[in-house]
Amino acid sequence: MILRSFIGPFIVTFFVSLFVLVMQFFWLYMDELIGKGIGIWPIAQLLAYMSTTLVPLALPLSILLASIMTFGDMGENFELVAIKSSGISLLRFMRPLLFFIIMIGGLAFLFSNNIIPVANLKTYSLLYDVRNSKPTLNIRPDQFYNEIPGYSIRVGSKDEDGNTIHDVIIYDHTDHLGNNKVVIAKEGKMITSKQSLIFKLRDGWRYEEGYNRGLPDYTQIRMHFAKWDKVFDLSSFKFGRTDENMFKTAHIMMNVKQLSEQIDSLKRSKGRAFNTITGYLSPYISYDSRSKENAGLFKYLDTSRQTAKIYDSSFLEFIPDSLKTAALQTASNNVRNFKSSTYISALNKKNDDDNYVKFDIEFHRKFTLSFACILLFLIGAPLGAIIRKGGLGMPLVIAVIFFMAFHILNITGEKLSKTNAVIPWMGMWMSTACLLPLAFWLVKSARNDSQIFTKEWYSRVWRRIKILLPVKEKSID
């Protein structure tokens, strides 16, 4: 009975939550999706892939809301009272549904580990192509159009048919020498095809700098034409797909096994970083380079303390004047190379540390989705039993409040991990650690028939407070 009562609201709330999240994504990227002539099919594919990647947000929310609705409806219809009066405790009544949620958590892990990396690869590769595709051809009157590579086009006016144009100016920048080629025409027609745009111009002039034709002194060439066709290549406007292999190395495109391998590789590289920087810097620090060639020098400096004291003033005093400039230049170059090598090594070390944090965060994210489903059920089920309200009124408000608290804690923990304020596993499990005691407290309160979410409980608390407040006596004249 409880499974039948739960599955219906769970399916409905899941698809409603997923639809709301997908629409939020669509409105966020609407300006980049519309007006580029991409077509319905790529946009539909993008929305389908994105809906798959949003399951980790929609699934915990739907479990929380469905559990509150299910137990709230049973409490409102006094079914929970009848069950408890028959000797069945709340925990025993929740047990079948808890096993069902644990099974959903296991399926959520398999989904997060095997499906979401592929969906992320499809989503972000397609989104990259959509965002970098050029908008559709739209030449407006009295505005320069610069979307065709190498050309700047201005049309004075258009007729109602949209093809007849007047007062046309075309600047040709294909040779990257400035405005050295200009075409002016009184009128013409625009003819578009899949690969090209043709301007059939009439009664115009072509201007060109003479040095383009090998003429001296930058002589200008002017040619009149009665009819002339200018063809523009529109192949760059065609929507194309980038090779998906370019995106496979990102952390969100990997499963648990691949993430573990990358984490182990980054750990080993972190250990080799100090040896690497020593190899970079040893040519510039002779005293610290413990090589066989310097063994005699070390022995001499260790045994001859009196000789070492002569360097207390300045080493330049012992260099002839003719060699001081060369010595200073050599020292300056060595310091500059030393600084550059140190900067590059430090930058590589920082990139490795950032990548390590990203991969570790993604590794723990695979497991937090499963535990989030179980955690929010342990919050939602006792909440529904306490508030005893079904439908989409009070349960929806409470579910949104608790889910926002969970989501904010989750985002905060991830941000803290990315900034190295906390270690990755601590940041990714922070939301679970904060809300798990609350879940246990709510289960205990529901077992004891707590009334903390009922109107009568707050009314009794307010009456007790009013008794403790001092009453001001009215004076009688």
> Quick one: pLDDT band at residue 137, thresholds 50, 70, 90?
low
Return the top range by mean pLDDT from 94-98, 210-214, 279-283. Answer: 94-98
pLDDT, tens only, 254-267: 888 888 888 888 87
**Predicted local confidence at residue 174, as pLDDT:** 79
Q: Which residue has the tokens 């590589």?
A: 348
Read out DSSP for 268-329? HHHHHHHHHHHHHHGGG-TTT---GGGHHHHHHHHH-HHHHGGGGS-GGGGS-HHHHHHHHH
Question: In terms of C-beta density within 10 A (0-12 exposed, 13-18 middle, 19 or more buried), how is residue 25 classed?
Answer: middle
Mean pLDDT value across the chain: 77
* Alpha carbons 103 and 97: distance in angstroms, whole number: 10
pLDDT, tens only, 284-293: 665 544 555 5
pTM for the whole thing?
A: 0.63
Q: Residue 122 corresponds to which tokens in the numbers above?
A: 């499809």
Nearest to 279 by CA among 266, 267, 292, 291: 291
122 pLDDT above the threshold of 50: yes
* Alpha carbons 303 and 295: distance in angstroms, whole number: 12
**Predicted local confidence at residue 293, as pLDDT:** 52
Q: Residue 211 corresponds to which tokens in the numbers above?
A: 């040095």
Give every CB contact of residue 319 below 8 A, 6+ residues apart in sequence. 327
> Quick one: pLDDT band at residue 451, thresholds 50, 70, 90?
low
**Predicted local confidence at residue 298, as pLDDT:** 53
**Predicted local confidence at residue 306, as pLDDT:** 46
The whole-number average pLDDT for the span 439-455 is 72
Q: Residue 418 corresponds to which tokens in the numbers above?
A: 């990315």
Q: Residue 255 corresponds to which tokens in the numbers above?
A: 């499963």
Provide the percentage of residues in the chain whose pLDDT is more than 70: 75
Q: Residue 245 corresponds to which tokens in the numbers above?
A: 């292999």
Q: Residue 402 corresponds to which tokens in the numbers above?
A: 């608790």
**Predicted local confidence at residue 282, as pLDDT:** 67
The Cα-based distances of 309 to 136, 312, 313, 315, 349 in angstroms read: 78, 6, 9, 11, 39
pLDDT, tens only, 300-351: 555 544 444 555 556 666 667 777 777 778 778 878 877 877 777 777 778 8
* Alpha carbons 290 and 328: distance in angstroms, whole number: 25
Least confident of 68-72, 245-249, 314-318: 314-318
Enumerate the β-bridge partners of residue 190. 199
| DSSP code of residue 113 | I
Q: Are residues 377 and 64 in contact, defined by beta-carbon separation less than 8 angstroms? A: yes
* Alpha carbons 220 and 181: distance in angstroms, whole number: 10
Task: Count CA atoms closer than 13 A to 344's CA, side-chain side.
Answer: 11
Q: How long a stretch of residues is the chain?
A: 477
Of 289 and 112, the one with more pLDDT: 112
Nearest to 276 by CA among 344, 364, 193: 344
161 pLDDT above the threshold of 70: yes
